[in-house]
Amino acid sequence: MYRGRALPDDAGQAEVTTPEDVRDLVRALADPNADDAYVTHLGRPTVVLPLTGDEPVPDHVVHLAVRDGWGYFVYAGVADGYPDGFTGHPKGDPRSPGTHGSHDEYPPASGLPLPLFTEVLIRFLESAELPDAVEWVELRPVTPM
In a domain, 21, yes or no: yes
In a domain, 77, yes or no: yes
In a domain, 144, yes or no: no
Residue 14, Ramachandran bin (φ over 0: left; ψ between -120 and 50: alpha; else beta): beta
Instruction: Say if strands 70-77 and 60-67 run parallel, antiparallel, or are unpaired.
Output: antiparallel
- Contact present, 34 and 26 (Cβ < 8 Å): no
In a domain, 59, yes or no: yes
DSSP single-letter state for residue 58: E
DSSP 3-state assignment of 51? helix
pTM of the model: 0.84
In a domain, 111, yes or no: yes
d(CA 137, CA 139): 6
- Contact present, 118 and 25 (Cβ < 8 Å): no
pLDDT of residue 52: 67
Q: Which domain holds residue 79?
A: 2-138
Q: What single-letter amino acid sits at 108?
A: P
In a domain, 37, yes or no: yes
60: number of Cβ within 10 Å: 22
Q: What is the mean pLDDT of each successive set of 10 residues along the chain, which is 145 residues long?
A: 43 81 94 91 87 82 95 93 90 95 91 98 94 89 47
In a domain, 145, yes or no: no
pLDDT of residue 112: 98
pLDDT of residue 1: 42
In a domain, 99, yes or no: yes
Number of domains making up the chain? 1
Closest listed residue to residue 88, CA positions, set 100, 97, 76, 103: 76
